[in-house]
Structure formats: C-alpha cells, structure tokens
Chain A
Amino acid sequence: MPEAVVRSRRRPARQANLFLWLGAGLLTAFVVLAVLGEQIAPYDPTAQDLFAMLEGPTAVHLLGTDNVGRDILSRIIVGTRFTLSIALASVFFAGIGGIALGSVAGYFGGMTDRIVTGIIDLLLTVPNIVLAIAIASVAGSSATGLTIAITASFIPPLARLVRGRVIELREEDFIAAAVTVGMGHGRILLRHILPNAATVIVIELSLNAGQAVLIGSALGFLGLGVQPPAPEWGTMLGASREYLIVAPHLVIAPGIAISLLVLAFNAFGDGLRDVFDPASRN
C-alpha cells in the first residue's frame, strides 16, 4: 500500500513539472519578444499602407494587415512589451501592497485588523474589472493608469490571503518562542512569518499575472489602453471587432496572443503550486 501512495504522488509531480516547464518556456519566449520587440518585428508596427489594408495572411504579411494596412505580426510582437510589463508591474506593486496590509492586519490583530479587513471587504464587493475601469477612467489611457488600476484591483484579495496565512503562523510555537526571547515585531514578521507565507504569495502572484493580462486587455478593448498608433493587444481586438466578418484574422491574432500569455502565467503558477505545495494538489 505505501508503494501505491508514493506512485500516485509521483505522477502528478511529473505533470506539475510539465506545467512548470511549459509555462516557463512560453514566458521566456514572450520575454524575448518583449525585450527585442522592434529588432525582430518584420516591419515598423506603425507603418501604414492604405493600398494593402485588411489583407489576409500571406508570405509577405504572415498574419495579414489591419484596417490601415499595418503588419499585424509586427504589432503583436511589439505589443508584447506593453502587456507583459503592465502584468509584471501590477503584480509587483500588488505584492508589496497586499503583503504589507495583510501581514500588518494578521499579525497585530485587534483594531488594526478590523479597520484593514473592513476596507478590504468593502473593496472586495466591487468586481475587480469594474474597479479597474473606474480607476483607469480617472487615471487616463496610459500604462501608468492601467498599472494603477490593475494593482488596486489585486491588493484586496491578496491582502486577505496573506492575512489568513499570517494569523495561522502567528499561533505557531516557534513564533511564541521568538516573542519570549524578546524579538521585535518587525524582525518576527520579516524573518519568521513572511518566509513561511512565501509559497502561498508567490503562487497567488503568478496566477494574478495571468489575470492582469486579461484585465489589461479588457481595458484596452474598452478604449482605456494605449494611445494610438501604439500597438496593444486588447486595443487591436477592440478596433477590429467591426471587421469580424470581413476580416476575421484581425481578431484571431491578438486573441491567440492574449490566450497564450494567460496560459503561460497560469501554467507556471499551477506548476509552482504543485512543486512547492504538494498538499494542495487534490
């Protein structure tokens, strides 16, 4: 019997590795596209040709041309940088904000906890895409605006998760030991609590990144993305919606790009979870 248990554990582990490698591989590819961008794009992403618009995929334009005759492949490649950097930046800032709020609330408890969770609960009642739209319409159509919007929508759930984990850890014997030897609160939090909460946080953040790509593209689709003529996947999708029937390739290319990047983050996040947190596999 023990043998059987071991085997059943091993197989998902291998699967997890597969996910992890798939996600990591795709992400690396996207990072390369984002960094090199213009260098590997076959054309200038803003160069127009009014006499070659709405053309389907050909050997000259592998993914065809858009409604003002720009090369779609080049726009997808150069657009990677925008979407990827927004996803990473918002996850980074959401991480800082969520960890700070959640750990302070969870660790100190009492009034601090009640105030922080009150605010978090209030924000959680607003769906994150709605919150993001509200913030983006105030902050304006720019990378900064989008990053702020997405970051803000991620902080509440993350803070909640961190708070729960911190409350759990706070009751552990080794924390009680640290307190009895007279260790300061800051040191306890940074040295003993957060390292033990790291797994949950890292996994949550990697899954958030996929979510950030979706929200960012949705905002772009709704007209809150970049300023034209800069390429951005969601904006490309929104602008080509009217051409869905006459030129479906306009929608398909950015659609696949968005799906692949979300898939990459999600696979990576799932893989991480399975490696670091085997208990949650079931």
Chain B
Amino acid sequence: MKRRQFLTGAAGAALLSAMPMGGIRAWAQDASGVITFGQSTAVLTLDPAHGAFTGYPGGYEAALLIFDRLLDFDGDMKIVPQLAESFAMSEDLQSCELKLRTGVMFHDGTPCDASAIKFNIERMMNKDINTTNRPLWNPISGAEVVDDTTVVIRTSAPFAQLPNTLAHGSGAIVSPAAIEKYGEDGFAQNPVGAGPYMVESFDPGQELTLKAFDDYWGSKPGASGVVFKFIAEPATRINALTTGAVDVIDSVPVQLVSQLEGNSEIEVVRKPGLRPIGLAMNLTRPALSDVKVRKALNLAVPVATIADKVFFGFAKAPDSPLAFDALGHKSVNETTYDPEQAKALLKEAGYVEGSDGMLEKDGAKLSLSLYAPEGLFPGDVAVAEIVAASLKQVGIDVQITKIEKGGYWDHLRQDQANLAWDLGMFGFNPSNASGTYHLASLFKSNADDSTKPDVWNISRYRNAEVDELLKTADTAPNEEERMDALGKAQELIWADAPYLWLQINENVSAVRKSVSGVSVMPIVFTNLRTATKS
C-alpha cells in the first residue's frame, strides 16, 4: 500500500511540474483552442475491424472524432443521419437504402462515395478481418452501389436493428486508400477517416493528438485540436482537471464528485448508463427455480436506498429489465422494498424458520452462494455485502465469494455442471443501444442449457413466450408492433424475476467551464465531437 501511495504522490508531483504550461494555456485562452482529455482508459488501436477500437471505451471515444459513420446516435440514443443524408428500411426489413452526402472527403483527400461505403460494409462483413461485434454484423449479406450517392445494404433475414449497427461505433467508415497504403495490420496505428478531426501524432497507450480537418463536410470543428491523454488513477485525473492540465476527464468516482462540485471553474456532466447491474439467479438450483423465492429476493433488498446512499444518488433502481435510455425501454414496475411480503412469499414457497432463525425446507437450509467481482462494476463488493445482509434479515444465508476481476467472466459463463454460484453479479452494456439486442443476449433460451450459454443467458432462463416476442421485436415489419412485443417481453421477464435487479449507474465526467459542448452518452462514451474551447 505504501508503494501505491508513493506512486500517486509521484504522479501528482509529475503533474505539478507540468502545471505551469497548462495553467498558462488556460489563462491565455489563445485562439489555438486545443482541448485536452484525460481518459481513464488508454487509446491503443483505432480500427473498427481487428478487435475494434481499444481500449474500451477510450478507443471508441477517439474514434468518434476521427471517423464519421453512415448514421449516428443523438444524446438520447435516437438514430440520426451522419454520412447518409437519409435512409429507408424496406418493408421486409431485409434491406436499407441510404442516400449519401455529396462531396465528402477522407483526411487523405480521397472521396467518401458509394464505392467506399461498399468497401467498408464488405470489410466489416468479413469474419477474418472483423472479429468483434459479430452479432451486429452477421445478419448483413451484402452492399450494392446504385449510383455515386446511393447504397443498398442487404441482410440475409429480417433485421430491424440494421440502422443500430450502422450507427454503432464499429460502423466507422475508413478510407479504402489508407487500408491499401498501410495494410490491414497497419491501419490501426495510422487511422484515416472522414470525421471532423484527423490524426497528427499517435503514441499508443500514452497520447493521441488530433487536429481539426479543414475539409470536413459538416460544421467547422469547435477546437483546433484535441489531445487524448491516458491518466489511470481517478485522484490524479481530478488533480489534472482542477489545475487546468486537462480540460475534460471521464469516469469520476461518485464519492469524489463532491470535491468537484464546489469548484466554480468545473462542471460535472452526468448521464444514466445503459447497463443495469443485477444478480443473475442460477435457475437450475431447486430453490431458485421457484418464482416465489425469486420475487422474495427482489423484495428483500432495499435497492432504492443502495442507489441513493452507496452511489450518492448517481444511480437509480431499475423499473424494467432494460435501462431507462435503451431503445424500447418500457417502465414495467417500480422496485419495492418489503421484507414482510418477502417473508410471506418464502413461507408460501414452503420455507419455515429453523431454530437459529434462518429459513429451511425439508431440513435443508436456504443458503445461497453470491459471486461478485472486485472493481469491475461500481461499488461491487459493497453492494454484495448489503445484499447479503438484507437477505439475512429475511432468513436467507448468503455466502459471498469475491473474484479477481480478470477471471470473473469465466466463472459466470460456465457449463451448467461447473456453475458454482447461485447469484452472480452481472451487467450487460448494449453498445448499439437496442433493447431487443439486450434482452435477446440475456433472456433468449439457450440452444442447450447444459453447455456454455449462447450469449449471456447465464441464468438458463427459458420462456417460449418471451422467445416468440423477441423474434417479433426483431423482425416485425412495423415499428409499433416491434416496440409492443419488446414491451410485453419486458413485462414477462420482470414478472419471472430471473435476476435480483440492483441499480443503473450514471456515467460521470467533468469539464472545465472554458470548454462547452461535451456530452456523456448512455453507452459510457464521453463525446467531444461538438466540444468547443473559448
């Protein structure tokens, strides 16, 4: 622990020595207007294919500035045009016609026309080149150039989420000439796009310097340049922001927000995330196969109080299996804290109080094993401890197993025979903002429950009606019908309670007031596309 304190101190000292420069820059408010962004994750690669932009989310945040996409998400995750002026899905949801803007140039001066788009779509379809985000790209079967400004993208089956894929970060349009020049392996370090900023210098893992692209098709970039700096330690990031060494920071721990709120030069930017955190219940366990027990668990934990106290109000208890800003979210029901009703439900389920006050059925104690990672989800261990204490209040014994975060996913995604947990903390971030994608990933029946889950249905949840609704939500021709089906699926899943739902955390960034236009997107990203520096 001494070493860490020393390192923090050393980093602080290093920052102090860098401070005069940053300070002068802030006071002078020169016309250069370079925005510096202190990121919690390093930018390593900048190619939508080959593992996509890394590290997450730092790489995606840089990509938002370098690359334009056919479509974009606005602040509320609604789909809006970007390189495409307009788009139209066909009746059968198997193709999408896009009208492109004219006169769009890549940073290298080559035109971003229909043939460049076709090149990009085909590149992302290729499983050998594009290895990640496969569920988003698998349904696409081809792209056709109709004329210079018209492209048709086809899918092999009805795929209502096609626009979400195109608006997703991996839909970044790259310069075919640059791929030719640097090769498939070299592009990630020499990215060329058609976005508002182009790369000036790139030191992977350390610093990325961008400068405004003069021939950008849209409105002129708000800054002459943007510098992405990797600063891992939250306290160091905050110091850098308060001294003016950086203008923007991301991932402010909620317990440190109060430090910034009193500072008149700094504004805290917050946005509820898309990732509902919860405890997946292992439905293959006899106790948890009973819906009464699952409902009782949900009633026994004061989730609203957790959101309010542990996260200082920077979190909310969910009202559906989807986060508030996910596309298709429907408010199903508020979470309620009612330990008495929980006890009554457990009694109905056949559990009686044993001599030690803990519940048992047929002589067997109701004892659950809770797996939680350390440092993977906000406040993970503290929340697990609160859940365990709350469930003990209604007579359920909970044993916590804390897992090192690197190995955590393997414990969750296991063959049925190797599942060691009854309750496993989990949160899914639907990076294309689609509620259908989210629910299908978590609640669509697995092909075979005994092997590893197909996607993330680690609970082994199985409801034929939900499967049917999710299919409708993905393939029905009209949007209202799709949203209706998605809404009904949320109601059914909520009623079946295969999770103990906990909280939806907010993403918190902070910005110096000399910079405006910074937004935090529900999918974690801090977006500097529209940022300007006075």
Contact = CB atoms under 8 A, between A and B. Distances in A.
A13 B372 CA distance: 54
B1 to A, nearest CB: 5
Nearest to A54: B255
Interface string A223-251: 11001110000100111011111100000
B491 interface: no
A221 B5 CA distance: 12
Interface string B393-405: 0000001111010
A151 interface: no
Contacts of B344: none
A239 B381 contact: yes
Contact of B385 (A51, A137, A141, A228): A228
Interface string A29-51: 00000000000000000111011
A67 B310 contact: yes
A257 interface: no
A50 B255 contact: no
A141 B305 CA distance: 30
A223 B374 CA distance: 7
Contact of A50 (B256, B309, B374, B388): B309
B402 A228 contact: yes
Nearest to B407: A137
A242 B385 contact: no
A217 B386 CA distance: 24
A221 B4 CA distance: 11
A240 to B, nearest CB: 10
Given A68-B385, A228-B385, A246-B255, A217 B400 contact: no
A212 B235 CA distance: 30
Given A48-B386, A50-B305, A218-B1, A228 B400 contact: yes
B388 A141 contact: no
B384 A228 contact: yes
A223 B400 CA distance: 14
A195 B310 CA distance: 57
Contacts, number: 66
Contact of B256 (A48, A227, A239, A245): A245
Given A228-B400, A228-B402, A48 B306 contact: no
A237 B1 CA distance: 9
Contacts of B388: 228-229
Contacts of B404: 137, 223-224
A53 interface: yes
B268 to A, nearest CB: 15
A229 B306 contact: no
Contacts of B384: 228
A78 B33 CA distance: 56
Nearest to A229: B385
Contacts of A245: 235, 256, 259
A227 B402 contact: yes
Given A227-B402, A239-B381, A246-B256, A53 B389 contact: no
Nearest to A141: B402
B139 interface: no
Interface in B250-266: 253, 255-256, 258-259
Interface string B1-12: 100100000000
A128 to B, nearest CB: 14
B381 A50 contact: no
B146 interface: no
Nearest to A67: B382
A245 B305 CA distance: 23
A179 B305 CA distance: 77
Contact of B389 (A48, A221, A244): A48
A141 B407 CA distance: 14
Interface of B is mostly: helix
B302 interface: yes
A237 B381 CA distance: 14
A13 B53 CA distance: 67
Contact of A227 (B4, B382, B401): B401
A46 B382 CA distance: 12
A105 to B, nearest CB: 33
A68 B310 contact: yes
A229 B305 CA distance: 19
Contacts of B400: 227-229
B387 to A, nearest CB: 11
A68 B382 contact: yes
A217 B1 contact: yes
Contacts of A48: 385-386, 389
Interface centre among B388, B399, B402 (most CB of A within 10 A): B402
Contacts of B256: 242, 245-246
Interface string B59-89: 0000000000000000000000000000000
Nearest to B401: A227
Contacts of A53: 309-310
Interface in B356-392: 374-375, 381-382, 384-386, 388-389
Contact of B302 (A50, A67, A244): A50
Interface centre among A53, A229, A234, A244 (most CB of B within 10 A): A229
A170 B62 CA distance: 70
A162 B311 CA distance: 54
Contacts of B310: 50, 53, 67-68
B1 A239 contact: no
A141 B371 CA distance: 13
Contacts of A239: 381-382
A51 B386 CA distance: 12
B309 A46 contact: no
Contacts of A141: 402
B390 to A, nearest CB: 9
Contacts of A243: 255
Interface in B430-446: none
A78 to B, nearest CB: 15
11 contacts: A46-B385, A48-B386, A51-B309, A68-B385, A68-B386, A227-B399, A227-B400, A228-B400, A229-B385, A229-B400, A242-B253
Interface of B: 1, 4, 234-235, 253, 255-256, 258-259, 302, 305-306, 309-310, 374-375, 381-382, 384-386, 388-389, 399-402, 404
Given A46-B385, A228-B384, A228-B402, 18 more contacts: A46-B389, A48-B389, A50-B306, A50-B386, A67-B310, A68-B386, A68-B389, A217-B1, A223-B374, A223-B402, A228-B388, A229-B389, A242-B234, A243-B255, A245-B235, A245-B256, A246-B258, A246-B259
The 10 closest A-B CB pairs, nearest first, are: A50-B309, A229-B385, A223-B374, A228-B400, A48-B389, A221-B1, A228-B385, A50-B305, A68-B382, A246-B255
Interface of A: 46-48, 50-51, 53, 67-68, 137, 141, 217-218, 221, 223-224, 227-229, 234, 237-239, 241-246
